[in-house]
Amino acid sequence: MSIQKNLNTIKQSLPKNITLVAVSKTKPISDLMKAYNVGQRIFGENKIQEMAEKHEEMPKDIEWHMIGHVQSNKVKYMAEFVSLIHGVESFKLLKEINKQALKHNRIIDCLLQIKIAEEDSKFGMSSKEAQDILQSQDFSELKNIKIIGAMGMASYTDNTNQIEKEFKLLETTFKDLKVIEKENCKLETISMGMSGDYQLAIACGSTMVRVGSSIFGSRNYNN
């Protein structure tokens, strides 16, 4: 099937309130443009350099989402254009995003990455750590970021019950954090669910899904 057909099939299956992030990491610009030409405007990348290169060459009405692990020293390369940073897992990183956003006179939207998987390889903070950050005075002073939700990655497993349990943990954490409202914090987005499990994620409360291989086909990591 073609990228356009894949994309249209997925979009037709999504409820109206769900945001689709087309995960385009490792894919050439020609593939992204096929998705763009049938109306996709939100693309997710996991390497800042690759995202910056694609941003340079592609139409400027695209929303670029950084969905991978973020190193503080690389934030400056995307601060001018990134629309949403999914994987914020520390206050130190938030401070750096705020600092770089200020240089460009922007407010950058962010999601707090919550660790819901049992695997050690997954990044993220606990619900308690997230609450402590959002309630702190230091956080209130960050004027150039806005926390708009939470993100989580389930374990890489075929055990649907475990994945469902982890998704529900993120939804519960989101509800706990949602009561904390500040000028730079208004939670509305739950980003969870990928190609293999996005329908389950939506059933568990997701409002944003990150779908790559179901749109673009399997990835070539040798690129």
Please give the chain's pLDDT, 223 residues, in tens. 799 999 999 999 999 999 999 999 999 999 999 999 999 999 999 999 999 999 999 999 999 999 999 999 999 999 999 999 999 999 999 999 999 999 999 999 999 999 999 877 668 999 999 999 999 999 999 999 999 999 999 999 999 999 999 999 999 999 999 999 999 999 999 999 999 999 999 999 999 999 999 999 987 666 5
SS3 52: helix
Residue 59 lies in a domain: yes
End-to-end CA distance of the chain: 22
**Total domains, the chain:** 1
* Range of the structural domain that residue 28 is part of: 3-214
Residue 223 lies in a domain: no
Kindly report the CATH number assigned to the domain that includes residue 52: 3.20.20.10
Residue 83 lies in a domain: yes
Beta strands in the chain (DSSP E): 19-23, 42-45, 63-66, 84-88, 108-113, 145-151, 185-191, 208-211
Residue 176 lies in a domain: yes
Q: Which residues contact 81 (CB under 8 A, 6 or more apart)?
A: 52, 55, 64
Residue 221 lies in a domain: no
Residue 166 lies in a domain: yes
